[in-house]
Amino acid sequence: MFVVLSKENPDPMYRQVYLQIRDAVGSGELSADEKLPSIREMAKALSISVITIKRAYLELENEGIIYSRTGSGSFVADISQKKLRAEKLREVRRELQALTSSAAKFGISIDEIIQVIEGLKEKRHVGRSKHRKPQKVLSGVHAE
Amino acid sequence: MFVVLSKENPDPMYRQVYLQIRDAVGSGELSADEKLPSIREMAKALSISVITIKRAYLELENEGIIYSRTGSGSFVADISQKKLRAEKLREVRRELQALTSSAAKFGISIDEIIQVIEGLKEKRHVGRSKHRKPQKVLSGVHAE
Amino acid sequence: MFVVLSKENPDPMYRQVYLQIRDAVGSGELSADEKLPSIREMAKALSISVITIKRAYLELENEGIIYSRTGSGSFVADISQKKLRAEKLREVRRELQALTSSAAKFGISIDEIIQVIEGLKEKRHVGRSKHRKPQKVLSGVHAE
Amino acid sequence: MFVVLSKENPDPMYRQVYLQIRDAVGSGELSADEKLPSIREMAKALSISVITIKRAYLELENEGIIYSRTGSGSFVADISQKKLRAEKLREVRRELQALTSSAAKFGISIDEIIQVIEGLKEKRHVGRSKHRKPQKVLSGVHAE
DNA sequence: GTGGTCTAGACCACA
DNA sequence: GTGGTCTAGACCACC
């Protein structure tokens, strides 16, 4: 698992950590009961405060994505990927709703938006999307 | 033109004002050289601080969407709707890119996302989704 | 609204603050859109760190019980008391389940437990319960 | 006797061990002077640290529930079940007091709580609630 | 003034 | 070693 913090990203640091771990669980990269790096470990690796990591872990715990046991560490919860996927899908629907309705005001139709998405699909097929735009990164932590 | 502030909206107030005026210009609801309500007028109507409106107007001015004449007020700039539309389209593309790539991590394909959008299209056709669920609103200003 | 912190209480401070505000909303003592004391204000009144109050407010916000607007303050959300009551009832059921099943191991029947509760009911009717056992208290804040 | 550790349980491990042994004594499952598994034995069986079990045993000893003889092991004390039962009853009363008074703030009456308990009673009669939903367990030790 | 984020410490309970 | 709580500062965006 690789967590990276980007200065460009307007999200606060704790949120970036939260999102990346959530995604890693959602994608199956991290599986149930797998141990996460300790908060101190990860804080050190990312050169940020323990508190910031703590907050990310806390929110993950509140969402039921991980669980923490004092003295033992933090672990991936036994939440099914299905559930995470369904939640993500709801999130996607919500955002698309906002996007289409705001675009409509500018005379941009839903069909036009679909065309844009189709365009993205093709770009992805060419397959350089992952490395095309190297993010500016603070640091990373490898944890396996 | 009707500006409404919603407490549900996480956007700061000045941003809500900014966006709604921008959209009104983009949709043609407000046309070139049309006079906007004065800062004080709008502040009073929305029961918020003058400086908040001032900031919204300032950003609109910086974007070239409105212009201000000291002593006479603020007016819609002669910016073509086409230009606003193109900008919005770029914004849409950017957001869709983020959305699809983050969804991909959860195993949600682009085709699936398109399906979601298609679903939105149908919903909009059957009902009057825009007016079905009236947002809770802090205050509004009618200025036409 | 009166928040008090007790040293006797094993709950961490942020939790005590959280619970008391939640209860105040649930009881209707605080009503929708009512302004809460600012985090700095309350921190000062209780002589504890701003961070601790912040955390209590954050959890209340995550639960949808209050909402915060940068620059304006924190306010009671428009969550219906009904919903809070239903949640509390679920909590009660959960705790009773644990209690009865653990008591059963000691040969304490459910009927016996009901008798205990009936006993509490009578005590309460005599009506000195509120002032009989003055809690040891750190400090309080009155906010209206 | 079967001690199980659950990761769902927020109680620390030593407490889970403590409670289960206490309950086993209270229910008569373990009788006076019966030998408990040795600390090392139990630690191994539960795959946890020896010092965790040690702490559980220590607290049981402090409560007068077991006694240890260096070199021979730990044994159930000759504490009457009646006494344990009475203590448990006090504990139940304390918890019910807290529960009813906190529920009262949400407009939940004692009678309503009694109804909830009655509901639990019926459920238990129809099914075998104890075994219906097998807890996810870390490990177990059989010692009889 | 308000809340939102972050730091660099500290002490505690648990394993 | 682990996580959980708390302090006393700081800087930022917003109103």
Query: How many Cβ pairs closer than 8 A exist between chain B and C?
Result: 7
For tokens 């946890």, the residue is D48
Q: What is the mean pLDDT of residues C74-88?
A: 91
Asked if the Cβ of residue A58 lies within 7 A of any atom of strand F, the reply is yes
Q: What is the mean pLDDT of residues C20-29?
A: 93
Distance CA D39, CA D123 (A): 38
CB contact A70 to D (< 8 Å):
yes
SS3 letters for D20-85?
A: HHHHHHHCCCCCCCCECCCHHHHHHHHCCCHHHHHHHHHHHHHCCCEEEECCCEEEECCCCHHHHH
Å from B47 to nearest chain A CA? 25
CB contact D130 to C (< 8 Å):
yes
Is A78 close to D12, i.e. CB distance below 8 A? no
Q: What is the DSSP string of A85-123?
A: HHHHHHHHHHHHHHHHHHHHTTT--HHHHHHHHHHHHHH
Q: How far is the CA of A44 from the C1' of E9 (A)?
A: 15
Res. C139: pLDDT tops 80: no
Is D7 close to A70, i.e. CB distance below 8 A? no
Residue at the smallest CA–C1' distance to nucleotide E14? A71
Q: What is the mean pLDDT of residues B46-54?
A: 94
Chain C residue with the nearest C-alpha to that of B8: C67
β-pairing, B66-69 vs B73-76, is antiparallel
Say what the pLDDT of residue B2 is. Answer: 78
Say what the pLDDT of residue A138 is. Answer: 55
Say what the pLDDT of residue A117 is. Answer: 93
Token digits for A18?
């939260």
Q: Is B4 helix (H, G, I), strand (E, B) or coil?
A: strand
Q: Which of residues 21-60 of C touch strand F (CB under 7 A)?
A: 48-52, 55
Say what the pLDDT of residue D53 is. Answer: 96
Distance CA A1, CA A80 (A): 19
Rounded to whole angstroms, what are the CA distances from B80 to B86, B87, C107? 10, 11, 82
Contact list, C69 vs chain B (CB under 8 Å):
7
Rounded to whole angstroms, what are the CA distances from C20 to C11, C29, C56, C60? 12, 11, 10, 11
Contact list, D7 vs chain A (CB under 8 Å):
33, 67, 69, 75
CB contact D119 to A (< 8 Å):
no
Asked if the Cβ of residue B18 lies within 7 A of any atom of strand F, the reply is no
Distance CA C11, CA C52 (A): 13
Rounded to whole angstroms, what are the CA distances from B42 to B11, B15, B97? 18, 14, 36
Cα-Cα end-to-end distance for chain C:
6
Sketch the domain layout of chain D as residue ranges. 2-79+137-142, 81-132
Say what the pLDDT of residue B122 is. Answer: 76
The residues that bridge with C73 in the sheet, in sequence order, are C69
Token digits for C129?
């319960």
What are the residue ranges in chain A where pLDDT is below 50? Answer: 128-134, 143-144
- Percentage of residues in chain C with pLDDT exceeding 90? 70
Q: What is the DSSP-derived secondary structure letter of residue A30? A: S
Which nucleotide has the shortest C1'-to-CA distance from C70? E3
* B21: Cβ contacts below 8 Å, ≥ 6 apart: B1, B3, B30, B36, B56, B60, B65, B66
> Which of D89, D117, D130 is the best residue to mutate to test the C interface, defined by the most C CB atoms within 10 Å of its own CB?
D117
Closest CA to C108 of D91, D115, D19, D112: D91
Say what the pLDDT of residue B129 is. Answer: 47
Å from D108 to nearest chain C CA? 8
Q: What is the mean pLDDT of residues C79-99?
A: 92
* A55: Cβ contacts below 8 Å, ≥ 6 apart: A14
Binned at pLDDT 50, 70 and 90, residue D131 comes out as very low
Token digits for D77?
């004390």
The beta-carbon contacts of D43-51 under 8 Å, at least 24 apart in sequence, are: D45/D139, D45/D140, D45/D141, D45/D142, D45/D143, D46/D3, D46/D5, D46/D17, D46/D138, D46/D139, D46/D140, D46/D141, D47/D138, D47/D139, D48/D5, D48/D13
Rounded to whole angstroms, what are the CA distances from D35 to A124, D3, D69, D73? 67, 15, 11, 7
Architecture of the domain whose range is C2-80+135-142? Orthogonal Bundle (1.10)
Surface of D (4-43) touching A: CB under 8 A: 7, 12
Chains B and A touch (3+ CB pairs under 8 A): yes
Distance CA C62, CA B14 (A): 24
Contact list, B12 vs chain C (CB under 8 Å):
70-71
Q: Is A84 helix (H, G, I), strand (E, B) or coil?
A: helix
> Closest partner residue to C70 among B7, B12, B136, by Cβ?
B12
Q: What is the mean pLDDT of residues B62-68?
A: 93
Res. D113: pLDDT tops 90: yes
Architecture of the domain whose range is A2-80+136-142? Orthogonal Bundle (1.10)
Q: How large is the angle between the packed helices D110-126 and C81-104, nearest 10 degrees? A: 50
Binned at pLDDT 50, 70 and 90, residue C131 comes out as very low
Tell me the pLDDT tens digit for each residue of D132-142. Answer: 444 555 555 65
Res. D8: pLDDT tops 50: yes
Average per-residue pLDDT in chain D? 86
Q: What is the mean pLDDT of residues D17-45?
A: 92
Say what the pLDDT of residue B93 is. Answer: 94
Res. B58: pLDDT tops 50: yes
How many beta carbons lie within 10 A of that of residue D125, not counting itself? 9
**Would you say B56 and B21 are in contact if contact means Cβ atoms under 8 Å apart?**
yes
Residue at the smallest CA–C1' distance to nucleotide E8? A49
Res. D130: pLDDT tops 80: no
Average per-residue pLDDT in chain C? 87
Listed range (C53-57, C122-126, D111-115) with the worst mean pLDDT: C122-126
Tell me the pLDDT tens digit for each residue of A64-96. Answer: 999 999 999 999 999 888 999 999 999 999 999
Is A23 close to B106, i.e. CB distance below 8 A? yes
Asked if the Cβ of residue D13 lies within 7 A of any atom of strand E, the reply is yes
Tell me the pLDDT tens digit for each residue of B78-134. Answer: 987 888 999 999 999 999 999 999 999 999 999 999 999 999 887 666 654 444 444
Q: What is the mean pLDDT of residues C39-66?
A: 95
Query: How many Cβ pairs closer than 8 A exist between chain A and D?
Result: 7
Q: pTM of this prediction?
A: 0.85
Say what the pLDDT of residue B142 is. Answer: 52
Say what the pLDDT of residue D141 is. Answer: 61
**Would you say B24 and B63 are in contact if contact means Cβ atoms under 8 Å apart?**
no
Burial level of D70, CB count in 10 A (0-12/13-18/19+)?
A: exposed
| CATH 1.10.10.10 applies to domain D2-79+137-142 | yes
